[in-house]
A and B are shown apart, each in its own frame.
Chain A
Amino acid sequence: MRSHADHGAAQRLASTAVLLAIACALGYLESVLMPPLPLPGMRLGLAYIVIVIALAIHGPRVAAVVSLGRVLLVALAVGTLGGPQFLLSFGGAVAALAAMVVLSYAGPSFSVVGWSVLGSAAHVVGQLLLAAALVSSTAPLALLPVSLALSVPLGLAVGYTARLLVSRIPDLSLSAAGR
């Protein structure tokens, strides 16, 4: 059984807002400051550090608010809301969140590192499937092998970073993140 920190409603709301703000800042900075990776749409996924932390500390509902809220707010900031880029980001976020939530309920056999790796892979698969639908062609799916291979080290980096950060936060009772 996974345990979550015992916060009051106000504390949870404040914590969610802080996590959402950090995720938005990381997502926005990554999109405008960092050079793109060799594959189209690939990012380091810095915002997922925060999303994984939100899932570990508060659970799926807060993680969903942080993840999907981040996509919406960053799209508003860069002016892509409702466009194809937003659809790709949203689809990837939904796929990643679903995968991480499923694994988080799978038991103590999986830690935040495993959640992050699976979420990273699900993100790229979701985006490539959506891209294929947008261009009405299977051509984007030809990028699947390399994208999946790249998603593993990126997911590991995000997962280990999230675990390190959570371990530095006092007064939290975490069974999954502590491993």
Chain B
Amino acid sequence: MTRGDVLVVIAIVAVALLSVPSAGAMLAPAGGAAVLHGPGGSTTVDLSSPGTYVVEGRSGQVEFRVADGEVFATSAECPDHLCVGMGAAAPGRPVVCAPNGVSASIVSGRGEGLDAVSR
């Protein structure tokens, strides 16, 4: 590696470290609700109420289940099913199905921002 290569590595690691607070700020600390995003809009679900939610994506459906205060994907109509393997969503770690344009993220229970957005 040249000196320039080392600088590139240091710069990327620095950007990664500096982006940690911003990444956490995008998703507020754990609360009692999760937001399910899809191409057709967003829905806020109460994590204290168990249930199953189906979100229509761009090329198929993604099914989310709320149980024990957590939300996780249980099935998805996409090639890789990576979202199903991600486990429960957590602050700073949403469950995302990029091919379908669907995600589930934990939001604060303090009532910041909008409860739901319909488009």
Residues of A whose CB lies within 8 Å of any CB of B are 36, 40-41, 78, 80, 83-85, 88, 103, 106, 108-111, 113-114, 117-118, 121, 131, 134-146, 148-149, 151-152, 156, 179
A40–B98 CB distance below 8 A:
yes
A111–B98 CB distance below 8 A:
no
Interface of B is mostly: mixed
- The answer to whether the Cβ of B32 comes within 8 Å of any Cβ in the partner chain is no
State the CA gap A83–B99 with chains docked (Å).
7
- B65 contact set on A, CB distance < 8 A: none
Per CB-CB distance, the 7 closest pairs between chain A and chain B, nearest first, are A114-B5, A109-B4, A148-B16, A139-B94, A110-B4, A139-B105, A142-B23
B4–A88 CB distance below 8 A:
no
- B82 contact set on A, CB distance < 8 A: 36, 40-41
State the CA gap A131–B102 with chains docked (Å).
10
Residues of B whose CB lies within 8 Å of any CB of A are 1-5, 8-9, 12-13, 15-17, 19-20, 22-24, 26-27, 37-39, 42, 58-59, 78-80, 82-83, 85-86, 92-94, 96, 98-103, 105
State the CA gap A29–B36 with chains docked (Å).
33
State the CA gap A152–B26 with chains docked (Å).
24
> Can you name 29 A-B pairs with beta carbons within 8 Å?
A36-B82, A40-B83, A40-B96, A41-B98, A83-B99, A84-B98, A85-B78, A85-B98, A106-B4, A108-B2, A114-B5, A118-B8, A131-B98, A134-B98, A134-B101, A135-B98, A135-B103, A137-B103, A139-B103, A140-B98, A140-B103, A142-B24, A142-B27, A143-B23, A143-B96, A144-B16, A148-B15, A152-B9, A152-B12
